[in-house]
Amino acid sequence: MGKVYLVGAGPGDVDLITVKGMKCIQRADVILYDRLINQQLLSYAKQEADLIYCGKLPSYHSMKQETINRFLVKHAQQGKVVVRLKGGDPFIFGRGGEEAVFLAKHGISFEIVPGITSGIAAPAYAGIPVTHRALSSTFAFVTGHRQHNKEDRICWESLAKGIDTLAIYMGVGNLPYICDQLIKYGRSKSTPAAIVHWGTTNNQQTMTGTLHSIVEIARESHIQNPSIIIIGEVVKLRDSIQWFEQAITKESRNTYQESCSIIGGG
């Protein structure tokens, strides 16, 4: 009997995977990986490892969850080391809990390897600390999309009144509804808000506004998922401590200047 490792690949920056997660990739006989992982991570796998794509889009699943579960069991029963490589952390909106339950039910040995989740990493790379002694002592992860034809079970009143900072995953498509619910239950329209798109990658973009204005800002920017929405007073700190996007711009400018020097002969 083999073993399954449910591994968090981190939020996008290849360097943010954990040491243990990288060791699992290097040992794996089979890797089932998601759409949002950094593809560079697969280059660390053994040459003979089987790489199986399991990516999901908002309106399209290349592989159903039930099929993924069966693949994990099947390969482990063949005596293989199996890695289920998931963006961010496997237990934060990643269905890792469902997969672990399925493995346990079938008597498959497994381990959970936590990863850095985008709800913390993306705002950090955007210069937004999710907690701050003067501004935020409570913080919540919130799913931004509902299962099809399922009732909304999120307690928006509690989130609006009781939590300082909200990190909302994959919520761009439902952003008008999210903002309406928070305002409806008492959150001020002037509450700072940000959207971080492709956080921690060189394609990162950050837009800021308020709970009242962020919907129109997102619409004008044509922003899509994958994005993290951050709502709370901590967003104001971005003005003074943003660092990553400035570093990208500087690096791009230096690369361009170097290219011009080579082309110009000096």
Catalytic site includes residue 170: yes
| Cβ(90)–Cβ(114) below 8 Å | yes
Q: Which of 56, 63, 180, 236 is catalytic?
A: 56
Question: In 16-154, which ranges are E strands?
Answer: 30-33, 50-53, 56-57, 60-61, 81-86, 109-113, 139-143
Distance CA 244, CA 10 (A): 17
Q: Which of 34, 80, 86, 89 is catalytic?
A: 34
Distance CA 21, CA 13 (A): 14
Q: Which of 13, 86, 170, 207 is catalytic?
A: 170
Catalytic site includes residue 184: no
Q: By C-alpha distance, which of 85, 75, 11, 2 is closest to 43?
A: 85
Query: C-alpha angle 107/90/146, rounded to 5°?
Result: 110
Catalytic site includes residue 56: yes
Active site residues: 34, 56, 170
